[in-house]
């Protein structure tokens, strides 16, 4: 761990280590293609091993861009660092540290050997998700067509039982929220304000029906 220097991220020192760029270059074999494990809007993710033996995933912001792109990268980096520095949950990947040197912006996470949640949701070769004909499918491939066709009953837990009219509307609304949240492009996904507003609307519909579905069940369905 390196000495914390003053700057925009000094407030995160108690939550995450500040790592040097040279350490991360060494950890990833100079960000070699063989260590690349993914990419996103912020940049590219590499697998690496720190000097103390920890396996990590290192997200590197794109470099060599014009000022506007750099500012966008800086904003995304600061937002993610601020959020993850405060977030600790056994079911969420842990932020190990970060690096700010020159125009380099990197975030370092614990390495999850089972891969990303996205890959499990969309994996067409996952034999555990095979269909009622033997054709492999994913959670998304199975659920989205049913939601679009208005056939929510196909994907609901059978223990829920018959729904009243308002309850059915609430469940359908949650289904549509979930469907839009798995759009491939981030720009096509709803923001959190829209998600919360729609979930609150779903809860109101359940209250109107004196529901047999509790607010807790609706919350679980949205996760």
pLDDT for 154 equals: 86
pLDDT for 217 equals: 46
- 17-56 pLDDT per residue, tens: 899 999 999 999 999 999 998 886 667 999 999 999 999 9
pLDDT for 13 equals: 44
Greatest alpha-carbon pair distance for the chain in Å reads 61
Tell whether domain 10-110 is in CATH 3.40.50.300: no
CA dihedral over 176, 43, 101, 84, signed as positive or negative: positive
Reference 140, options 178, 177, 172, 170; nearest CA is 178
Give the whole-angstrom CA distance, residue 25 versus residue 21. Answer: 6
List helix spans (H) across 110-214. 117-122, 139-148, 165-181, 192-208
β-strand pairing of 36-39 with 17-18: unpaired
Give the residue extent of every domain in the chain: 10-110, 117-222
pLDDT for 93 equals: 73
Give the whole-angstrom CA distance, residue 100 versus residue 17. Answer: 11
In which residue are the tokens 């969309």 written?
A: 122
pLDDT beneath 50, residues of the chain: 1-14, 66-68, 127-129, 211-223
């Amino acid at each position: 761990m390196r000495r914390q220097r003053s700057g925009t991220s000094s407030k995160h020192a108690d939550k995450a280590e500040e790592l040097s760029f040279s350490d991360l270059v060494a950890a990833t074999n100079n960000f070699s293609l063989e260590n690349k494990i993914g990419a996103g809007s912020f940049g590219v993710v590499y697998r690496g091993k720190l000097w103390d033996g920890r396996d990590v995933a290192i997200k590197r912001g794109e470099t060599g861009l014009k000022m506007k792109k750099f500012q966008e990268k800086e904003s995304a980096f600061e937002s993610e660092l601020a959020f993850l520095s405060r977030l600790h949950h056994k079911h969420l990947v842990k932020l190990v540290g970060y690096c700010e040197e020159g125009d380099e912006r990197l975030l370092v996470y614990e390495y999850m050997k089972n891969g990303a949640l996205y890959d499990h949701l969309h994996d067409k070769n996952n034999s555990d998700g095979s269909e009622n004909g033997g054709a492999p499918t994913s959670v998304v491939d199975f659920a989205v067509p049913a939601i679009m066709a208005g056939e929510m009953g196909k994907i609901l837990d059978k223990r829920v039982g018959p729904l009243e009219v308002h309850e059915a509307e609430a469940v359908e609304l949650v289904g549509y929220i979930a469907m839009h949240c798995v759009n491939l492009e981030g720009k096509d996904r709803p923001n959190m304000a829209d998600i919360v507003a729609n979930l609150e609307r779903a809860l109101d519909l359940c209250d109107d029906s004196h529901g047999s579905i509790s607010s807790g069940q609706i919350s679980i369905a949205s996760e």
